[in-house]
Amino acid sequence: MTSTRTDAVALDESSPLRHTRARFVLPEGVIYLDGNSLGALPAGVAARLAGVVEGEWGTGLIRSWNDARWMELVGRIAARIAPLVGARGADLHVGDSTSVSLFKTMVAAARLRPGRRVIVVEPSTFPTDGYIAAGVADLLGLELRWCDPADPVAAVDEDVALLTLTHVDFRTGAMYDMAAITAAAQARGALVQWDLCHSAGAVPVDLEGSGADFAVGCTYKYLNGGPGAPAFTWVSPGLQADARQPITGWMGHASPFAMTRDFAVADGMTGWASGTHPVLALSALETALEAFDGVTVEELRAASLSLTDLFLRLLDERLPELEIVTPRDHARRGSQVSFRHEHAYGIVQALIARGVIGDFRDDGAAPGIARFGFTPLYLSHADVHDAVEHLVAVLAGAEHLAPEYAERNAVT
């Protein structure tokens, strides 16, 4: 039985998240399937930023560090992100970029395993993870070892200090079993770190329950914090007393305003701060996270799977020739669906011209990948249905072969 638009609308009417779309500002006529790259604008953020800029900064000036409680922003945001990743707010730091968070955690992990000389990275991970691991290996005289994506633990032996993996793959949307891999790598004596950029706010994550050692994640994708929003860093409570991050700036000092000559690290995750935190970006992020108020991770996951299931079903019905690279198995699927195509870039551009926004990712090995992210807070089943109709029309009319799509933009 084929799936109709009426079926899609019926699914929307019974969805527990049907009210959360109103928490976002989305342009008329756009179906936004790129929340796995940059989340949409949450409704209160523009007003919050205007208030912080004009009131707190413009009028309050330096007094706002105390009066507007700018120092408390990091802790308040950590407490909001924590339940989305199965952690306590006290075990998170927020404020660096993901890349800098990766640097800090990788150095700390290597220092916790002084006899072990290897960092294991998965080769199809987001490039920055590999680049940072290479930089850390170079800095500390370690070796970078690539693992088999299908069996990352096989590369972990008695030389390995850290296995660092991305939980949900940025190209395919494939998801690892965090608890099983963590336990298997730890049984071989390694520490395990998870990059949650494509997980936080989209799929259930249980950092504490899975026994992970470190985690990092960005906040500009499914957490909707805005372009370049600060990342979070999580360190297992059991490691915090011994883990030492390398960028020992004054904001990680036990008493920054004592202005002492020598560094004395602050307790807990405050010691993971380095310099002054980005108040404007954190203010936007704090308000953005209100979009999750009253929404459980289970509801998010159920809605996300319902959207990706429908997208996959419609692709199977309408375009069975497409090479889907996202796992069908719910346990292995994140919140995106991707397909490989010789003209993936042109397809994505032709869809964007029709108001259906996804993106393209190169795979090194051609052909590239067209990616579609499904943010359950603001996407409907009707959007999914309409997006597939547009895709069918693009391919039927060969719109993706238009000469203007032969050259790629700087950001794909």
Ligand X SMILES: Cc1ncc(COP(=O)(O)O)c(C=O)c1O
Torsion sign across C-alpha atoms 313, 314, 317, 320: negative
Helix intervals (H) in 170-292: 178-187, 207-210, 279-288
Nearer to ligand X, 197 or 382 (CB): 197
Nearer to ligand X, 306 or 336 (CB): 336
Strand pairing class (118-121; 232-235): unpaired
Q: What is the DSSP letter of 333?
A: B
Binding of residue 97 to ligand X (CB under 6 A):
yes
> Segment near ligand X (CB under 6 A), from 96-104, 248-256, 266-274, 373-381?
96-104
Length of the chain: 412
Binding of residue 195 to ligand X (CB under 6 A):
yes
Binding of residue 99 to ligand X (CB under 6 A):
yes
Among 142, 200, 218, 314, indicate the residue that binds ligand X (CB under 6 A): 218
Q: Evaluate whether 384 touches 307 at the Cβ level (below 8 Å).
A: yes
Nearer to ligand X, 190 or 196 (CB): 196
Residues 6 or more apart whose CB falls under 8 angstroms from that of 173 comprise: 36, 198, 326, 327, 333, 334, 335, 336, 337, 338, 371
126 part of the active site: yes
Round to whole Å and give the CA distance between 254 and 264: 6
Helix intervals (H) in 190-342: 207-210, 279-288, 297-318
214 part of the active site: no
C-alpha separations of 60 from 29, 69, 72, 77 in Å: 40, 11, 16, 22
Binding of residue 126 to ligand X (CB under 6 A):
yes
221 part of the active site: yes
Nearer to ligand X, 73 or 231 (CB): 231
Q: Work out the number of other CB atoms within 10 angstroms of the CB of residue 312.
A: 16
195 part of the active site: yes
> Segment near ligand X (CB under 6 A), from 173-181, 192-200, 240-248, 371-379?
192-200
Which one, of 215, 145, 212, 214, lies nearest residue 184 by Cα? 212
Cis peptide before 123 (omega within 30 of 0): no
- Site mask, ligand X, residues 43-82, x = CB under 6 A? ----------------------------------------
**Shortest CB 174 distance to ligand X, Å:** 12
> Segment near ligand X (CB under 6 A), from 93-101, 174-182, 262-270, 322-330?
93-101
**Shortest CB 320 distance to ligand X, Å:** 30
Binding of residue 170 to ligand X (CB under 6 A):
yes
Which of 80, 171, 221, 340 is flagged as catalytic? 221
Binding of residue 197 to ligand X (CB under 6 A):
yes
Helix intervals (H) in 220-367: 279-288, 297-318, 344-353
**Shortest CB 192 distance to ligand X, Å:** 16
Binding site for ligand X (CB under 6 A): 97-99, 126, 128-129, 166, 170, 195, 197-198, 218, 231
Active site residues: 126, 195, 220-221, 371
